[in-house]
Structure 1
Amino acid sequence: MVQVRQVCVWGLVLVLSPLFSAAPTNRAASSQRNKLLLISFDGFRWDYDRDVDTPNLDKMAQEGVKAKYVTPPYLTITSPAHFSMLTGRYVENHGVIHNMWFNTTTQEKKQYYEAQFVDSYWDNGSLPIWITAQRQGLKTGSLHFPGTAPTYQGENVTMRQIEPPNYKFSNETEWRIHIDTVLADWFHKQDLDFVSLYFGEPDVTGHKHGPDSPQLKAMVKQVDRTVGYIRERLQQLGLTNRINVIMTADHGMTNVLRGEQIQQILLSKIPNFSFRDIQFQLLDYGALGMLLPKEGKLEKVYQALKNSHPHLQVYKKHDVPARLHYSSHPRLLPLILIADTGYIVNGILPLHSSKGDHGFDNEIMDMKAFFRAVGPDFHTDLLVEPFDLVDVYPLMCHLLKIQPEVNDGDLEKTKKMLISEGDTGGSDGIYV
């Protein structure tokens, strides 16, 4: 019966469309809720397609919308940026402040994968869009997307596949299996309304070989083939006119290799600085470091590090530039160390070996991410101005016709992509 009603609605649209010349005949009526697929290709920089042949991404832009770039939130790393995508909150507001979870009292640290299973780290008051949609009657799914594993206020994603340990991110055959799971099973058979799908490339290749390497260019071509496969399967399953596809990334990538040397900043080499003054440290992970000085040692440590290296910015927590939105959360440690682009913060020894990295200031162009969107609710052949990654959240809520949670995004920045761009509900961007 559902299919019959949809056919009837489409017939009505086709009959009436000549009366409304502004509405293309191949688009859904504004009152119809279409499905939504959110895809993240981790670390796909905004300009990776410039010097690589990407016919499928090009075709997607011609048949949909392309943004010049999107600006990720700071910190520009995987878990914080993806959770901003899912909640529309800046990192200091949602509290997933790093890929690593840590406990300053016990000195315990969990790396990226283990941190995915710490419910209290993610379930910190900001609800991801899966849970919000489910509470408003929709069915959701997530495959490997960061944040999929935790329970939020007692709820999990309706359908989910959690990334296994030591997963090989670059296996193109497995990518296609995942795509078939999402499209043929979850959307087509299970009739889900919203699904998020994550791929760990080209981030892994960018780290290992650098963003300018032949290996990176080959991986961009693999991503493009995958985009072609996604769109081909949508067509085969009869879903093209029922699913909006948003494709983006959490951050970009930059080169940290100069000659044969990784550009590393060693705190152990800084005069007047001593780890004996530190109670807890989060270092050796990339462009950002955080320090918890021992009681009464904050000013001493700050003065030792301030102006100690020409490519290191040192801030007391509440002095971090407001535009970064990385100062007010209680999980952030009292001293924040931010390296200039291309430099890595290490503690005692130079531990970093990657040729490419991210985590730098989100205003740096190399940190910007790509964005494509296509589907029944989007304009065709439209290039739009840059916007922020947090703005994707209210856009998704609008497409799903659900009321958003409190968020930092702005629907005004993205509604120009939509055919029914005037139909955005009230001035607060909530769909009515």
Structure 2
Amino acid sequence: MISTKNIFLVLLLLFACAHLSAQELSQQIVAGRENSPAQMQKPYIIYISADGFRHDYAGKYQAKNLLALKATGVQAVSMKPSYPSVTFSNHYTLATGMYPSHHGIVNNSFYDPNRKQIYLKKDASAIKDSTWYGGLPIWALAEQQKMLTAAFYWLGSETAVQGIRPTYWYNFNNKIPMDARLEAVKNWLLLPAEKRPHLIAFYFPEVDVAGHDFGSNAKETGEAVKLVDDCVGKMVELTKSAGLNVNFVFVSDHGMTESDNKNTMPLPNLIDTAKFVVPNGDALLQIYAKNKRDIQPLYLKLRAAAVDYDVYLTTKMPKRWHYRAKDNKDGRIGDIILIPRLPKIFNLTGKPTNIGKHGFDNAMPDMQAVFYAWGPAFKKGLTINSFENVHVYPLLAKILGLQYSHQIDGKLAVLAPVLR
């Protein structure tokens, strides 16, 4: 028979879980902040990322709002993601203007030999641990200068990088309906000037999810593109109803391609996991040696045996990837890198994996991301050549009138010509 005391404890636990869930779903606010009088006069930017929105998707799936909006502003032929072309690395690059090897989030999952820990994309405690993150995100730069910001999901916004979060932010989850997310943007825009964010970062995961599950040519991916397109159209209308002339920057982190997800490659049996740490991966395997003397012998064996994948020492990675030993600021890039030759991919778990993949050479056409921008800061009807995504950060800072002195990889000169 259950005692009254035990029943009370169970009810208390259920209440605590419900309360925690409500907190996780609620907007988080850093109290006591206001825009300084000077910052209240600055422009507004809504910075949108549609995860996995390949550079050709708007035309391919007739995204009517984006096609119309980009024609009123600036569009790039494509935007080149940083290597590796994965979500976490590139979202944090888009937030910091730094290559992954410099800001520290070198893959979706990776090993830090100094910490002797693996960063996993599904580990909420790691995602919220600011000590993993280098650089200074654009929202943190703004907040340092008394300009308020908001984020509805963006890697790095859930933790206080250099002690600073956006003023308004949400913990990532998939339970908040899209209408509620748009309502949050509306409410931010309607705040009084001293409380209104001048930078809103907004993240859409839907296109990436569909692309992984069904491939880049599937109707489900087209439907996800149209969902994002519809939401962008609604967001533009929200700014008009709020009476604000807002700049929009619409980007993605990478593209998408099809893989052979039936005939995958396991971890090569030459790799002794007692001597090497190998985090999970499919388009890129990083091998970290526990003893550096074991690197060269394994490298030579893998080179001799490799079929359907290429083997690199970190010291010999292509310079254009900015992913070499000399770039390896925190030691988080593996000692040996294995890169499959498409359509082949690695599958270390042996479990079924999806068809849509990214993470490959960032020069590949299918890996190319999107860049559109429109609003009062931008020229009209301008098409520019492809450029690297590190250059978006200084563009945002310029529009918002923010100063920075720390070192980044992006250069304002690359995108300055798109401004009026």
Task: Please indicate, yes or no, whether the TM-score normalized by the shorter chain is above 0.5.
Answer: yes
The sequence identity of aligned pairs, in percent, is 29
Partner residue of 1:79? 88
Distance 1:307 1:56, change over 3 A: farther
Aligned to 1:14: none
Gaps of 5+ in 2: 1-36
Report what 1:278 is aligned to. Answer: 275
Matched, 1:201 2:202: no
The answer for the alignment partner of 2:162 in structure 1 is: 153
Q: Is 1:117 matched with 2:128?
A: yes
Q: Structure 1 residue 322 and structure 2 residue 323: aligned?
A: no
In the alignment, does 2:251 pair up with 1:248? yes
Give 1:138 deviation, angstroms: 0.8
Q: Partner letter of residue 207 of structure 1?
A: H
Is 112-121 or 39-48 further displaced after alignment?
A: 112-121
**Equivalent runs, 1:24-423 vs 2, <5 Å:** 33-100=42-109, 102=111, 104=113, 110-114=120-124, 115-122=126-133, 124=134, 126-164=135-173, 167=174, 174-186=177-189, 188-189=191-192, 190-239=195-244, 241=245, 243-257=246-260, 261-268=261-268, 273-275=270-272, 278-283=275-280, 285-295=281-291, 296-327=293-324, 328-329=327-328, 330-347=331-348, 350-351=350-351, 353-404=353-404, 405-419=406-420
What residue identity is the alignment partner of 2:131?
S
SS of structure 2 residue aligned to 1:99: coil
Query: Could you say if the C-alpha distance between residues 196 and 276 of structure 1 is closer, same or farther in structure 2, counting changes exceeding 3 Å?
Result: closer
TM-score w.r.t. the length of structure 1 is 0.81
TM-score (norm 2): 0.83
Residue by residue, what CA displacement relative to the aligned partner does 1:128-156 show, whole Å, maximum 9, x if unpaired? 11111111121111111111111122222
CA RMSD of aligned residues (A): 2.3
Query: Would the alpha carbon gap of residues 357 and 86 (structure 1) be closer, same or farther in structure 2, given more than 3 Å must change?
Result: same
2:213 alignment partner AA: K
Structure 1 stretch 362-371 or stretch 374-383: which is displaced more?
A: 374-383
Change (3 A) 1:132 1:267: same
1:22-74 Cα distance to aligned partner (Å, 9 max, x none)? xxxxxxxxx96311111000010001122222210111012211111100101
The structural deviation recorded for 1:117 is 1.4
CA distance in 1, matches of 2:322, 2:190: 36
Read off the aligned partner of 1:286 and give its amino acid letter. D
- 8 A contact 1:286–1:352 mirrored in 2: no
How far off is 1:399 after superposition?
0.4
User: What SS class does the counterpart of residue 137 from structure 1 fall into?
Assistant: coil
Does the CA-based 8 Å contact 2:74-2:382 persist in structure 1?
yes
Cα deviation, residue 263, structure 1: 4.7
310 and 154 in structure 1: CA distance in 2 versus 1, 3 angstrom threshold: same
CA distance in 2, matches of 1:298, 1:52: 47
Tell me if the contact between 2:204 and 2:228 (Cα under 8 Å) persists in the aligned partners.
Answer: no
- Paired residues of 1:90 and 1:408 also in contact (CA < 8 A): yes
**Conserved 8 A contact 2:111-2:332:** no
Instruction: Return the alpha-carbon distance in structure 2 between the equivalents of residues 74 and 372 of structure 1.
Output: 21
- 1:184 and 1:276 map into 2 onto residues whose CA distance is 51
Partner of 1:369, secondary structure, is coil
Partner of 1:25: none
* Alignment: residue pair count: 373
Q: CA deviation at 1:265?
A: 2.4
Q: Distance in 1 between matches of 2:250 and 2:147?
A: 21
1:248-295 C-alpha deviation (Å, 9 max, x unpaired)? 0000111013xxx53522233x5xx14256331113x22011112342
- Which whole-Å CA distance do the structure 2 matches of 1:364 and 1:267 have between them? 25
Q: Does the C-alpha gap of structure 1 residues 32 and 157 become closer, same or farther in structure 2, counting only changes over 3 Å?
A: closer
- 1:8 match: none
Amino acid at match of 1:110: L
SS in 2 for 1:267: coil
Q: Secondary structure at the match of 2:277?
A: strand
Quickly say closer, same or farther: Cα 1:408–1:61, change in 2 above 3 A: same
Contact 1:279 1:292 in 2 (8 A): yes
2:28 is aligned to none
